[in-house]
Structure 1
Amino acid sequence: MAVEPLLATRAQRAFILTITLQAIIVLTMVGITFRKVEVKVAFVGDYKTLPCYLALFALAEVFELLMAFDALRLRNIIQLLGILLFHMALIVFAAIQIHETKSALLNKVDCVTDFNPINCDGPGTLWRAVQPFLIVVPCIIAAAWFVMMFWIKELYSEFGWAIFHVVGANPKMKRMYQWYQIMLCLLKFDFFFFVGVTMQLLIIVLARNTAEFGVTVAAIPVVLVLLALCGVAVQREIKWIMTISLVMMLAASSYFLYKLVRIYEPASRSAYATTRASLTIFTIVAFILLFGTFAVGLRCFADFDRGLQASKVNHGGSSYTPVLTKLELFGGNNGTQQEEGSYYGGTQLQPRISIE
């Protein structure tokens, strides 16, 4: 079976095109919202929700597009399914942002006695001007999600046999390799949700002159290095790095639990008023993903030194190369010899595919 190059099939091109088009439309809607608010108010206090909203969506759309290319390059069905779940989370986040933007704009002024078009609701107000663009965003993302499901079904048929060519037909090896793929996929999503949580904290919540702001900034490179080293450790089966990474994951999980408490405890809950819903969701998902990564990491650790390392290291999206068939090894005519009554019914034998 021939292996198609990246973006050589209709399903691959359509999948990437779907994500790209919805990203352009969504970022345009968010950008228009940002601009309409920018000309009316300064982005201080509660209004900082809007630039954070734009930054998160820009990060999410770029991240999803890169993940899609990566999944197609690696022919990774598990990562494609992860992208579907991530896209569903984007729908929820976009819907929540309608409420949070409204809370930021309609900031408890007395509109009966002191009506103004910036902080009140009604015809001609700022909220009514941006509301349609905010509503369009989750609708577009949801429509793209259904289209993506169709093309992922096509890609499943196209890529579903790839693991066989990496590890062979051994069920144990296949299961180990699938856990390895899940681990790498989780590490990539850990990156996004950690950056999403810290971005909201730094832009909206934390004051620059506080110790918590400094700790949060310092944690960013530490966690990113941790995730990168964990990916190297699980691929190269380096036990001491994997051990350190797993311990650090537990510490990072504890940090997310601490932040969740801070969002709702009476002494600090007012600082999270305009971003409580989205930050809560991001924090909970980040905690679940990180704890899940720890659990899957333990499973992958148990598979170290069991014969899978060569397949992990040598597997790449463009490294499919044909190898000699048995007929070629024993002097056949370049795999084209035909045999009467053979299993192939006298048809031409094709080179087998391997991943070296």
Structure 2
Amino acid sequence: MAVEPLFGTRAQRAFIITIAIQAIVVITMVALTFGIVHQDLGPIFDTAGYKTLPCYLAIFILAEIFELAMAFDALRLRNIIQLIGIVLFHGALIVFSALQVHETKDALYDNLPVFHKVEPFLIVAPCIIAASWLVLIYWIGQLYGEFGWVIFHVVGANPKLKSMYQYYQILICLLKFDFFCFVGVTMQLLIVVLASSSAEFGITIAAIPVVLLLLAGCAYAVQREVRWLMIASLVMMVASMSYLYKLVRFYEPSSQGQYSSTRATLTVFTIVAFLLLLASFGVGIKCYNDFDKGLHESKTHGQYYAPVKMQVIDAFKMGGMSERQSSYFTGGAPLEQRISIE
């Protein structure tokens, strides 16, 4: 017999459908908010104070597409660690959507009737995300039982190799979330805060390819066990942590005014991005120390969703034993059939 194919089980289908439905509902709520405010405010909507709303819409579209892609990827790889990462990410979306109620109110402070008109849509978003979060936790519990044997299939029964492979999975998962946080912070800065003529705008644009190369290079280095590239990636991670200085810019008197409409979400994104990068650096060092210890083949071929064939083996046929010989060694009873994983 064989393992169920991708989306071949109820848990897999329910997991991906839950994420898709909540994404559609949440993006619809945010789009309605955006449309109503844009219609009611007219020409003044494009002024600096109201840029929170297009940024809010852009971030949520990015987040929902990212989560859906991560969910599909986790099911395709049968990756429990990435599923846990999705649960944590979904929890962060609850916080972010709740913050947006406060920040939208601040942005519409001079037009409170407009805010009261869209407030129900803003409140629905975190409620839907929270409800779907509970559902996802249930289905991930089901998927844990379904995917729990995968690491054994990839690296065997050696507990040391299993531990090393899990750290490798954690690093790859962290790099994916690093990408989202970096894009989220950059998007907010470019849409809401920075003037296109400023030097900071140019520096932010220039940082995009550098960070993307860093993340892609680190992923390639840890998978292929390229030592020089991994060292370079770790050094660049340390340098990238200096981005935390942005927190000072958010709150110092000389510049806090330009960040007023998105200070809360920018602060959360920046701190989370820093913590993820710090965790990636720590796990990256551990993975670097595991190079050349027998894991290269498993990391290269991975655990893509190819159904694992399972074959029934007659024990009495192994080793050339006849049924009579097998009966002798078992006190007269023939050995039973057993299942082995190829």
TM-score of the alignment, normalized to the shorter chain, above 0.5: yes
Q: Aligned-pair distance for 1:322?
A: 3.7
Q: Aligned-pair distance for 1:74?
A: 0.7
Question: Equivalent residues in 2 for 1:67-216 (5 A)?
Answer: 67-107=70-110, 119=111, 121=112, 125-216=113-204
Tell me the secondary structure at the aligned position of residue 46 of structure 2.
coil
Aligned partners of 2:210, 2:314: CA distance in 1, in Å?
A: 54
Please name the residue that 1:20 is paired with.
Answer: 20
Identify which of 343, 348, 352 aligns with 2:337.
348
Aligned partners of 1:212, 1:345: CA distance in 2, in Å?
A: 78
Q: Aligned-pair distance for 1:260?
A: 1.2
Please name the residue that 2:266 is paired with.
Answer: 279
Q: Aligned-pair distance for 1:4?
A: 1.8
Q: Tell whether the 8 Å contact from 1:29 to 1:134 is kept in structure 2 after alignment.
A: yes
Identity of aligned residues (%): 62
Q: Aligned-pair distance for 1:234?
A: 0.3
Q: Give the counterpart letter for 1:226 in structure 2.
A: L
Aligned partners of 2:26, 2:307: CA distance in 1, in Å?
A: 36
Q: Give the counterpart letter for 1:150 in structure 2.
A: Y
Q: Give the counterpart letter for 2:166 in structure 1.
A: Q
Tell me the secondary structure at the aligned position of residue 350 of structure 1.
strand
Q: Aligned-pair distance for 1:192?
A: 0.2
Q: Tell whether the 8 Å contact from 2:314 to 2:336 is kept in structure 1 after alignment.
A: no
Aligned partners of 1:43, 1:332: CA distance in 2, in Å?
A: 79
Please name the residue that 1:111 is paired with.
Answer: none
Give the 3 Å change call, closer, same or farther, for CA 10–48 of structure 1 in structure 2.
same
More helix by share: 2
Identify which of 250, 253, 269 aligns with 2:241.
253
Give the 3 Å change call, closer, same or farther, for CA 322–208 of structure 1 in structure 2.
same
Give the 3 Å change call, closer, same or farther, for CA 206–327 of structure 1 in structure 2.
same
Q: Aligned-pair distance for 1:320?
A: 4.7
Q: Give the counterpart letter for 2:142 in structure 1.
A: E
Q: Tell whether the 8 Å contact from 1:323 to 1:352 is kept in structure 2 after alignment.
A: yes
| 1:308 and 2:311 matched | no
| 1:230 and 2:233 matched | no
Please report the TM-score for the alignment, with normalisation by the length of structure 2.
0.92
Q: Give the counterpart letter for 1:33 in structure 2.
A: T
Aligned partners of 2:308, 2:62: CA distance in 1, in Å?
A: 35
Give the 3 Å change call, closer, same or farther, for CA 217–172 of structure 1 in structure 2.
same
Any idea what the Cα deviations from partners look like across 1:307-340, whole Å, max 9, x if unmatched?
0000000123224554889879x8789xxxx965
Please report the TM-score for the alignment, with normalisation by the length of structure 1.
0.88
Q: Aligned-pair distance for 1:258?
A: 1.4
* Unpaired stretches in structure 1, ≥5 consecutive residues: 108-118
Any idea what the Cα deviations from partners look like across 1:57-101, whole Å, max 9, x if unmatched?
000000000000011111111110000000000000000000000
**Does 1 or 2 have the higher relative contact order (CA < 8 Å, sep 6+)?**
2
| RMSD of aligned Cα (Å) | 2.2
Aligned partners of 2:148, 2:286: CA distance in 1, in Å?
A: 23
Aligned residues between the structures: 331
Q: Tell whether the 8 Å contact from 1:325 to 1:352 is kept in structure 2 after alignment.
A: no
Aligned partners of 2:51, 2:296: CA distance in 1, in Å?
A: 47
